[in-house]
Amino acid sequence: MKLRISHETTYRYGRPIRNLVQSLRLTPSVFEGQKVHEWQIDVTDGIRGPGFRDGAGDWIEGWNVRGPVDQVTVRVQGRIDTRDMAGVLRGHREVVHPLTYMTHTDFTQPDDALRDLANSVNGTSDNLDLAHRLSLQISDSIAFQNGVTANNTTAAEALALGAGVCQDHTHALIALARIRHLPARYVSGYLHSTIDGEPHDAAHAWAEIHVEGLGWVGFDAANKCCPDERYVRLGSGLDASDAAPIRGVAMGSGAEDMAVAVQVEELAQ
Partner 1 sequence: MLSRTAANLFWMGRHLERAETAARLLDVGQRITLLPNTEEGYQNEWNSLLQASGTSELFTGKYGEISQENIEEFIFFDRENPSSVVNCIEKAREAGRIVRTALTSQVWDALNVTYQDLRKIENTPRSRLDTASLTDFTTSHTSTVRGAINATQLRNDGWHFMNLGYGLERADATARLLDVKYFVLLPRIEFVGSGLDTYQWQVILRSLSAHRSYHWAYGGDITAGQVADFLILNGESPRSLITSLYEVVWHLEGLARRYGDAVSAEARDKGRDVMEQLQARDIDMIFDEGLHEFLSWFIQELGTISTLVHQDYLLGGA
Partner 2 sequence: MSYYNEMFEGDQVRDPYARLREWVDTMPDDFRQMKQAEAEALFRRIGITFAVYGEGGDPDRLIPFDMMPRVFEQAEWRKLERGIKQRARALNAFLRDVYGRGEIVRAGRIPARLVYQNEAYEKSVVGFVPPRGIYSHIIGIDLVRTAKDEFYVLEDNCRTPSGVSYMLENREIMMRMFPQLFRKNRIEPVDQYPDLLRRTLESVAPAKCEGRPTCVILTPGHYNSAYYEHSFLANLMGVELVEGQDLFVDGDFCYMRTTTGPRKVDVIYRRIDDPYLDPLCFRPDSMLGIPGLMNVYRSGGVSICSAPGAGVADDKAIYTFVPEMIRFYLGEQPILNNVQTWTLWKDDDYRYVMENLGDLVVKEVHGSGGYGMLVGPKSTKEEIEMFRHKIKANPSNYIAQPTLALSTCPTFVEEGIAPRHVDLRPYCLCGDRIELVPGGLTRVALRDGSLVVNSSQGGGVKDTWVLSE
Number of residues that bind partner 1 (CB under 8 A): 3
First-to-last C-alpha distance (Å) of the chain: 8
What is the Cβ-side half-sphere exposure of residue 50, based on CA atoms within 13 angstroms? Answer: 3
102 binds partner 2 (CB under 8 A): yes
Instruction: Give the footprint of partner 2 on residues 13-72 (CB under 8 A).
Output: 19, 21-23, 47-56, 60-62, 64, 66
Please report how close the Cβ of residue 255 comes to partner 1 at its closest, in angstroms: 22
Binding flags for partner 2, 205-244, as an x/- string (CB under 8 A):
---------------------------------x--x---
Q: Between 86 and 249, name the residue whose CB sits nearer to partner 2.
A: 249
Q: Between 107 and 231, name the residue whose CB sits nearer to partner 2.
A: 107
Q: How far apart are CA 65 and CA 250, in angstroms?
A: 9
Q: How far apart are CA 164 and CA 158, in angstroms?
A: 6
What is the Cβ-side half-sphere exposure of residue 2, based on CA atoms within 13 angstroms? Answer: 5
95 binds partner 2 (CB under 8 A): yes
Q: What are phi and psi of 82, to 5 degrees?
A: -125, 155
215 binds, among partner 2, partner 1, none (CB under 5 to 8 A by kind): none
Please report how close the Cβ of residue 244 comes to partner 2 at its closest, in angstroms: 9
Residues 6+ apart with CB under 8 A from 19: 64, 65, 66, 67, 250, 251
Preceding omega of 68 cis (within 30 degrees of 0): yes
CA 5 to chain centre: 16
Segment interacting with partner 2, rule: CB under 8 A, options 92-100, 118-126, 156-164, 202-210: 92-100
Residues shown for the chain: 269
188 binds partner 2 (CB under 8 A): no
Which of 66, 83, 90, 181 binds partner 1 (CB under 8 A)? It is 66
Q: Between 251 and 260, name the residue whose CB sits nearer to partner 1.
A: 251
Q: Between 65 and 225, name the residue whose CB sits nearer to partner 1.
A: 65
CA angle 156/201/186 to nearest 5° reads 35
Please report how close the Cβ of residue 44 comes to partner 1 at its closest, in angstroms: 18
Q: Between 5 and 20, name the residue whose CB sits nearer to partner 1.
A: 20
111 binds partner 2 (CB under 8 A): no
75 binds, among partner 1, partner 2, none (CB under 5 to 8 A by kind): none
19 binds partner 1 (CB under 8 A): yes
Residues 6+ apart with CB under 8 A from 51: 59, 60, 61, 62
Preceding omega of 199 cis (within 30 degrees of 0): no
Q: How far apart are CA 131 and CA 182, in angstroms?
A: 8
Q: How far apart are CA 245 and CA 78, in angstroms?
A: 15
> Would you tell me which residues interact with partner 1 (CB under 8 A)?
18-19, 66
> Would you tell me which residues interact with partner 2 (CB under 8 A)?
19, 21-23, 47-56, 60-62, 64, 66, 95-100, 102-103, 238, 241, 247-249
